[in-house]
Amino acid sequence: MTRAVILGTGSCLPERILTNAELEQMVDTSDSWILSRTGISERRIAGPGEHIHKVAAQAARRALAAAQLTPADVDLLVLATVSPHMLMPSTACFVQAELKAFNAFAYDISAACAGFTYGIDLASKYICAQPDMKVLVIGAENLSTRMNWQDRNTCVLFGDGAGAAVLGNAAEGEERGIFGAKLQSDGRLWNLLYTEGPPSMNKDLQLPDWKGPYIQMNGSELFKNAVRLMEGAVKELLAQHHLDIADIDLMIPHQANIRIVNNLKERLGVSADKVFTNLNRYGNTSSASIPIALDEANREGRIRPGDLVLLCTFGAGLTWGALLLRW
């Protein structure tokens, strides 16, 4: 049976740490508000030369090294982002050039925070159709470039970074691999979280109330939807696979807010030791949040061979879902 499997993971974070104490000097906020309302203590902000494709390429190199593969082995490079280097061409093409992965075709996907999980599902389906393919999936963001640093509602929440996974076909008889995903979107709720582009050069299409190319967010509505929709996706996916939440060895949720994670954990009945979080150190890195967490969990030995791992994701669009894999 053909089944896609994660062969290696990698991540890369910019050097510069921006602490809550520093944010106190920038906007009307406090360390105690940020920590108690979100669980975030610090985040990384890209500095000189740390363009999204450079950080993404470094995460990819680490994933390839872990898989004992080279850039020349990659057949497809998919990069999820909502903060691309340019509108055109794709950031995936910039990463391809950085890596010298010239045997690959490359493109971006835009599914906000759910982008990496959508990408893993996509890679899994390519591999099922063409088992000799090696697919590199990257989630990468430079959200600091899209931030209104005067808006305390958003600027305390997000961070920069990249994570990657390389996938191939499971060996004959192997039980591990991607079992399945339950992915969903609801474009009717687009205005809960969005970033407009630059002003339109076509005056007929210029939005009358253009707010600038910054992240705009309705935090409390997002919060409620995040918990409810991720819970629904997880329950549906588990039911499809005749599994119970107790069968899961590790849950890696989108790292947006520790209160969302705790709510989800309680509703699903997952014990605390089975939930991986690192948002305290990185904030919300959108499409990079799950792959960075997956890589850290992997490198810290939190995932053992044979473990059943559950990814749950939620973001702008709205986009959300859950994905199950055996390590």
Token pair, residue 132, equals 């000799």
Residue 63 and residue 165: Cα distance in Å, rounded?
A: 6
Token pair, residue 29, equals 């906020």
Say which DSSP state 303 is in: S
Instruction: Say which residue the tokens 């890369």 belong to.
Output: 12
Residue 89 binding ligand UT7, by CB under 6 A: no
- Our answer to whether residue 20 is catalytic in this structure is no
Residue 186 and residue 81: Cα distance in Å, rounded?
A: 19
Looking at the chain, list the stretches that DSSP marks H as alpha helix, in order from N- to C-terminal side.
Answer: 20-24, 31-38, 52-66, 91-99, 115-129, 152-155, 219-240, 258-268, 279-282, 289-299
Q: Are 98 and 91 in contact (CB under 8 A)?
A: no
When the beta carbons of 124 and 285 are compared against ligand UT7, the nearer one is: 285
How big is the site for ligand UT7, counted in residues (CB under 6 A)? 22
- Classify 4 as helix, strand or coil: strand
Residue 284 binding ligand UT7, by CB under 6 A: yes
Buried-exposed string 62-78: b where 16+ CB fall within 10 A, e elsewhere: bbbebbebebebbbbbb
* CB 154 to ligand UT7: min, Å: 8
Question: Can you tell me which of 67, 133, 170, 226 binds ligand UT7, judged by CB under 6 A?
Answer: 226
Residue 148 binding ligand UT7, by CB under 6 A: no
Ranked by CB distance to ligand UT7, the top (closest) residue is: 219
Residue 161 binding ligand UT7, by CB under 6 A: no
> Among 12, 93, 113, 155, which one carries the catalytic annotation?
113
Query: What is the C-alpha radius of gyration for the chain, rounded to an integer number of angstroms?
Result: 19
> Among 93, 142, 169, 254, which one carries the catalytic annotation?
254
* CB 159 to ligand UT7: min, Å: 11
Cβ count near 208 (within 10 Å): 4
Question: Can you tell me which of 20, 38, 58, 142 binds ligand UT7, judged by CB under 6 A?
Answer: 38
Separation of CA 174 from chain center = 27
- Our answer to whether residue 155 is catalytic in this structure is no
Amino acid of residue 283: G
- Our answer to whether residue 284 is catalytic in this structure is yes
When the beta carbons of 151 and 307 are compared against ligand UT7, the nearer one is: 151
| Positions in 287-326 near ligand UT7 (CB under 6 A) | 314-315
| Positions in 232-261 near ligand UT7 (CB under 6 A) | 256-257, 260
Residue 153 binding ligand UT7, by CB under 6 A: yes
Residue 116-145 contact track with ligand UT7, rule CB under 6 A, x = bound = ------------------------------
> Among 257, 278, 284, 298, which one carries the catalytic annotation?
284
Which residue ranges make up the site for ligand UT7 (CB under 6 A)?
29, 33-34, 37-38, 113, 152-153, 156, 193, 219-220, 222-223, 226, 256-257, 260, 284, 286, 314-315
**Could you give the residue numbers annotated as active site?**
113, 254, 284
